[in-house]
Amino acid sequence: MDETNASKIQYQYGLETRTIHAGSRPDPVTGARNTPIYQTTAYTFDDANHAADLFNLQTFGFIYSRLTNPTVAVLEERIANLEDGRAALCASSGHAAQFLTFFSLLNPGDEFIASQNLYGGSITQFTHSFKRLGWTCNFVDMTNVENIKSSISVKTKAIFLEVLANPGGVVIDLEAVAKIANGAGIPLIVDNTLATPFLCQPFKWGADLVLHSTTKFLSGHGTSLGGAIVESGMFDWVGNADKFPTMTEPDPAYHGLTFAETFGDFGFTMKARAVGLRDFGPCMSPANAFYTITGMETLHLRMLRHVENAQVVAEFLNSHNSVDWVSYAGLPKSPYYDLAKKYLPKGAGSVFTFGLKGGYEAGVKLVESTNLFSHLANVGDTRSLILHPASTTHRQLTDAQRDAAGAGPKVIRLSIGLETSDDLLYDLDQAMAQ
């Protein structure tokens, strides 16, 4: 091989280029440059042997859109590429991605550890719905990693955290947690929804699985539900076979096939797809995949403006007379400022909280008084969003759980969008004056 060809093979495209091109090629039949919406339920087989090979997982291809769809496949490849992962699987929502992940890992009686600083819906899912399946979640304060060490038992099969927590903007020391997980022989699962691969790539710090609610920043326009699981390909399932029989023991549904041995460094993704998606069916629609692919083409541009605006708004609130405190890792006084510089060098995200003087009633009044900020339960939109978590997303939690999650009665959550920053300051100022 000559040096010219060798240099072409070694060349690595920048993340900005990959947000536009990764996984996408012109349609071979029509020449269409944008990925088409393959709005079809099923795909023809070449012959009986081809069909048998597909169903036996002996060859790759499209069977039925619950399992595989060409539009969704482009999105999966793009997300895996941006995270520098080995493979990805898309699902109907972020919660569906979480369910498929833990279903592929756990048996009844198994446990996992999760950060207490999580999205309220995740806390509820882990606490109540997962319990009915025989899975136990132990919540710990991961701002002190020693709490994780003391919580690991023989039943512990995973560690779960949000690198940038929703809603409080808590930043967890990924590298330190990854060392603990690796030492215990269990995977570290990181929800990277609020950071996105533009701001943080958890695999570089030792994570084994990355999850996304693609509904948020990856899609970016409040149009499309979705979730994603990304596999690093680095976790040693075979070396920890006693902990993960779902990965290392023969699967009777596939004539004794063993996912870890058969598929190697993308075995977990194949397990989640071939069993989880097949049997429970929370697949992503091709239309939602199309809109998310389109949204991701501007991810790098949007995230720069998101964090730029968020910094301006956080500094404004930090000096406002109606505000007790601001929890934003981009402020020098934040206890997570140094961790944000390490793990989020391009910016500390655009979702954060602040404490409003006047408590619960003042919080409700504030969200009802904004004009430009939209009062709704979402984040990651081009539009700026405002929420009072204690009366909405974290309403089902106990007072203690809300306080631990950073969603107490006076807490207001903001998701800063792409508008003119002065307009955002004006809207918040007039609302707080009321």
Arithmetic mean of pLDDT, 78-85: 98
- Tens of pLDDT, residues 397-407: 777 877 776 77
Give the dihedral of Cα atoms 16, 18, 20, 22; nearest 10 deg: -170
Arithmetic mean of pLDDT, 278-288: 97
- Average pLDDT over the chain reads 94
Quickly state the pLDDT bin for 93 (edges 50, 70, 90).
very high
Domain 14-295 and domain 299-433 have a common topology: no
Arithmetic mean of pLDDT, 327-338: 96
Flag whether the pTM goes above 0.75. Answer: yes
Higher-confidence residue of 1 and 391: namely: 391
**pLDDT at position 391:** 75
Asked if the model's pLDDT at residue 252 lies above 70, the reply is: yes
**pLDDT at position 390:** 76
Asked if the model's pLDDT at residue 236 lies above 90, the reply is: yes
Give the dihedral of Cα atoms 347, 349, 350, 356; nearest 10 deg: -100
- DSSP code, position 36: P
**pLDDT at position 1:** 43
Instruction: Give the separation between CA 365 and CA 352, rounded to whole angstroms.
Output: 19
Q: What percent of the chain has pLDDT over 70?
A: 96
Pairing of β 411-415 and β 351-356? antiparallel
Asked if the model's pLDDT at residue 88 lies above 80, the reply is: yes
Q: What is the CATH number of domain 14-295?
A: 3.40.640.10
Q: Is residue 17 packed enough to be buried (19+ CB in 10 Å), middle (13-18) or exposed (0-12)?
A: exposed
**pLDDT at position 304:** 98
Arithmetic mean of pLDDT, 219-246: 97
Report residue 209: phi and psi, to 5°: -135, 140
- Tens of pLDDT, residues 368-377: 999 999 999 8
**CATH tag for 299-433 (out of 1.10.3720.10, 1.10.357.10, 3.40.50.11750, 3.90.1150.10):** 3.90.1150.10
Handedness of CA 288, 270, 172, 396 (dihedral sign): positive
Domain limits, the chain: 14-295, 299-433
Report residue 114: phi and psi, to 5°: -135, 150
Arithmetic mean of pLDDT, 75-95: 98
Which range is least confidently modeled, 98-107, 204-213, 251-260, 418-427?
Answer: 251-260
Arithmetic mean of pLDDT, 183-209: 98
Instruction: Give the separation between CA 178 and CA 207, rounded to whole angstroms.
Output: 6
Asked if the model's pLDDT at residue 159 lies above 70, the reply is: yes
**pLDDT at position 203:** 98
Higher-confidence residue of 411 and 138: namely: 138
Asked if the model's pLDDT at residue 5 lies above 80, the reply is: no
- Residues 167 and 114 sit within 8 Å (Cβ to Cβ): no
Could you check whether the bond before residue 167 is cis, i.e. omega within 30 degrees of 0? yes
**pLDDT at position 7:** 53
Arithmetic mean of pLDDT, 346-351: 97
Asked if the model's pLDDT at residue 415 lies above 80, the reply is: yes
b/e string for 313-340 if b means 16 or more Cβ within 10 A? Answer: bbebbeebebbeebbbbbbeebebeebb
